[in-house]
Structure 1
């Protein structure tokens, strides 16, 4: 059975008619021997699980793109490159971010295999209109599972579902929620029509700064955080926020945000569905914690508590966006023109994919040795994005920005100071924020 559906507004905003590179690249390094036939068969199995990977993109009469499921879909592209060195994957990740997808002829996912003797790299490249970071992780895990064990059982299959289709029935039938979604969309549309649209803002060349925290340092951080009642991600956010405030100044960053996995609010997507919409929570320190000269862990604990409160309250916002945004398609071109005329790159997004150690098993003659922090290229600029992934006891980071939004030298200074703060925080007792060279920190009253 084949199906078709139009792009949701958030998908359309990522796709941009397929004429701009909007890609998400997840690299992994393997030891052992990969078999090309098995890898090809694994891609076919994974494609059969997701209707969106069996679909091509067609333009509707109104210019709106549609996913059209194919009875005999073209396979997921596999590009094989000979591996010459340990760092080849970084250049390939950059190239994959910049390559356009041809959605009218092939799926919006592709795989690069850097083939070496005893060591290989796989780079899973996904168009951001169908995948977020967790989607890419799930795809890579499924590919490796089937490549190692062809009889492996994967999760459920997912049909083509639009944004409103995945909203739980109790939310879809909530008249008050639907009214809020309707009037918020109307108000937003009215505000968009009032905005003056200038010429597109130009940005400098994009770059990626990469580094790793080794297992011993990660273990020390986890132990200290556990004693303080703080998770790893809250500690990382605290270090980056303090470092940014020191390097860029109190007004150098408009806001800090973190994406949240929307699947927690959408049962129809649980079990491995591909999805791209990622609501965010605002990251800020409680004013009281800052004014009392709190130490690192007190700040981190306050930040963590605030994040949890926001996440617990986020479900209605997700439902309202999925139900209300579809009313804005007539304004799509104006929305894009307006967003391009406003300078982006003043905020920082911290995205943690979690600890993926469950993927490190031996599979049919090969073993996943490392998962690297993903690269991304977003429109109009990737600035300022920090991606983090935990694997095999390590934490891997990628700081992605552009030279006009944040000079590379500043990103390197932020990295160095954030790592110094984390190292100092593992010492007993942790230093006060004012004792580690931080002139001021971003605050927001709860």
Structure 2
């Protein structure tokens, strides 16, 4: 190979790269653990295979991280963009029964990505004559819940119109490039981070690390609040000046309490879209980090069960959530800056985490009422179903909730040691019972 050809080949082979942030690295885990989000979309009509492959290729043209593989440089994983990009894998299976999509979703959630050779996204079409499910699977080190919805939205638009302009992002910015200039230029923040980071490193170094804790088989339990109940509940929430999540989150917290006991769950977490704190990060950019706020179990420990008490507590919950989100910005900025100083202790931090038992918390991930288009040329988006996620070392206990046109959709993902299936069934039944009761009470007097 001549020198000129070698230079040209190198230029085409990798044009952009950056190291994974500590948060991304913690999700990636050297590619040895299946940490993925799977979101199903139910389609009426037909999406041609050629059109779907073309749409996936257009997604790659927009998002640099989807044109990238993961390579090791000096002991750390890096995203490295490839030209030409390895295509996004597409698998097509026939919809031989109404539950086939659930089995395929479970398979996708547990399957590793070959991150050194392929993008950290793949698609599965469970194809039927009139009804199909499109499953989009994304590694959690490149996508949070908002990112997955962005990709689904763009994919459907491109399946409808391959020439649609969805924009293009040219770079994969590092953490510092996303932070507000006022934060980057604040010397007080950097001085505070130096001693905070030093204390955290000392804490990590002094932890005793035992063997990794084992868990049971992962499962997903799905259910829905039907259309009439959902619409009545949404109307009642507007009348009571609370969000649907406030009352649904309260119902779930109470159901966990009544099933497992008052002290069984130590914390309830709510992921927050980080984009409101990072104005340089576009609304349609892919990002993995979703900081959480904590909903205290004290909210439900003394709950008596009176119907009017639900709305009083839900209004208090809304006020508490709004206040905590309002205070989250500085913490996000400091965490993004500070975490990048802890890479040398990454292996020890992960080993310590794996030696501590999980499963005493619940994450309530609410994707809200979706604003996706429904009608397309050759097909119609009938429903978006709740995504499932595999998180290491266990997803226990993750509840995802999607407000779609026809129903409020739930998916509870856990493992049978952290939350036996019979207890998950009881939590589902109690939650539905509460929400139906609240929906059918009618307007307040």
Q: TM-score, normalised by structure 2?
A: 0.93
8 Å Cα contact 1:211/1:396 also seen in 2: yes
For residues 78 and 297 of structure 2, the distance between their equivalents in structure 1, rounded to whole angstroms, comes to: 43
8 Å Cα contact 2:230/2:439 also seen in 1: no
For residues 93 and 241 of structure 1, the distance between their equivalents in structure 2, rounded to whole angstroms, comes to: 26
Question: Which residue of structure 1 aligns with residue 87 of structure 2?
Answer: 75
Question: Which residue of structure 2 aligns with residue 29 of structure 1?
Answer: 42
- Matches for 1:330-369 after TM superposition, within 5 Å: 330-356=344-370, 358-369=371-382
Aligned partner (choices 12, 27, 31) of residue 25 of structure 2: 12
Could you tell me which runs of 5 or more consecutive residues in structure 1 were left unpaired when the two chains were aligned. Answer: 432-446
For residues 404 and 287 of structure 1, the distance between their equivalents in structure 2, rounded to whole angstroms, comes to: 26
Offset, 1:416: 1.0
Aligned partner (choices 164, 172, 186) of residue 160 of structure 1: 172
What are the superposed Cα offsets for residues 220-249 of structure 1, whole Å, 9 maximum, x if unpaired?
111111111110001111101111111111
When residues 300 and 18 of structure 1 are mapped into structure 2, their CA distance, relative to the original with a 3 A threshold, is same
Q: Does 1:240 align with 2:224?
A: no
Question: Which residue of structure 2 aligns with residue 101 of structure 1?
Answer: 113
Question: Which residue of structure 2 aligns with residue 444 of structure 1?
Answer: none
What SS is found at the alignment partner of 1:147? Answer: helix
Q: Does 1:124 align with 2:133?
A: no
Question: Which residue of structure 2 aligns with residue 115 of structure 1?
Answer: 127
- Matches for 1:237-276 after TM superposition, within 5 Å: 237-276=249-288
Question: Which residue of structure 2 aligns with residue 440 of structure 1?
Answer: none
Aligned partner (choices 202, 221, 227) of residue 214 of structure 2: 202
When residues 351 and 37 of structure 1 are mapped into structure 2, their CA distance, relative to the original with a 3 A threshold, is same
- Matches for 1:83-98 after TM superposition, within 5 Å: 83-98=95-110
Question: Which residue of structure 2 aligns with residue 382 of structure 1?
Answer: 395
When residues 156 and 265 of structure 1 are mapped into structure 2, their CA distance, relative to the original with a 3 A threshold, is farther
Question: Which residue of structure 1 aligns with residue 195 of structure 2?
Answer: 183
What SS is found at the alignment partner of 1:253? Answer: coil
Aligned partner (choices 311, 314, 317) of residue 303 of structure 1: 317
Cα RMSD (Å) of the superposition? 1.9
Offset, 1:5: 0.6
For residues 272 and 182 of structure 1, the distance between their equivalents in structure 2, rounded to whole angstroms, comes to: 33
Offset, 1:360: 4.1
8 Å Cα contact 1:262/1:278 also seen in 2: yes
Offset, 1:393: 3.4
8 Å Cα contact 1:24/1:374 also seen in 2: yes
What are the superposed Cα offsets for residues 369-402 of structure 1, whole Å, 9 maximum, x if unpaired?
1111111111000000000111123111000101
For residues 189 and 423 of structure 2, the distance between their equivalents in structure 1, rounded to whole angstroms, comes to: 44
Question: Which residue of structure 2 aligns with residue 439 of structure 1?
Answer: none
For residues 5 and 171 of structure 1, the distance between their equivalents in structure 2, rounded to whole angstroms, comes to: 22
8 Å Cα contact 1:25/1:123 also seen in 2: yes
What SS is found at the alignment partner of 2:341? Answer: helix
Q: Does 1:137 align with 2:137?
A: no
Aligned partner (choices 26, 29, 39) of residue 52 of structure 2: 39
What SS is found at the alignment partner of 1:359? Answer: coil
Offset, 1:207: 0.8
For residues 198 and 228 of structure 1, the distance between their equivalents in structure 2, rounded to whole angstroms, comes to: 49
What are the superposed Cα offsets for residues 336-388 of structure 1, whole Å, 9 maximum, x if unpaired?
100000000100000011111x3242212111111111111110000000001
What are the superposed Cα offsets for residues 395-434 of structure 1, whole Å, 9 maximum, x if unpaired?
1100010111111111111111112112222354899xxx
Runs of 4+ in 1 over 6 A off after TM superposition: 285-289, 291-294
Offset, 1:178: 2.2
When residues 421 and 291 of structure 1 are mapped into structure 2, their CA distance, relative to the original with a 3 A threshold, is closer
When residues 392 and 22 of structure 1 are mapped into structure 2, their CA distance, relative to the original with a 3 A threshold, is same
Offset, 1:187: 1.4
Offset, 1:163: 2.2
Question: Which residue of structure 2 aligns with residue 436 of structure 1?
Answer: none
8 Å Cα contact 1:18/1:100 also seen in 2: yes
Could you tell me which runs of 5 or more consecutive residues in structure 2 were left unpaired when the two chains were aligned. Answer: 1-10
- Matches for 1:205-224 after TM superposition, within 5 Å: 205-224=217-236
Offset, 1:291: 7.9
8 Å Cα contact 1:355/1:390 also seen in 2: yes
For residues 52 and 36 of structure 1, the distance between their equivalents in structure 2, rounded to whole angstroms, comes to: 24
Aligned partner (choices 385, 409, 419) of residue 372 of structure 1: 385
What are the superposed Cα offsets for residues 260-310 of structure 1, whole Å, 9 maximum, x if unpaired?
000111122222111111110111377799589870000111011000000
8 Å Cα contact 2:160/2:376 also seen in 1: yes
Q: TM-score, normalised by structure 1?
A: 0.93
Q: How many matched pairs?
A: 429
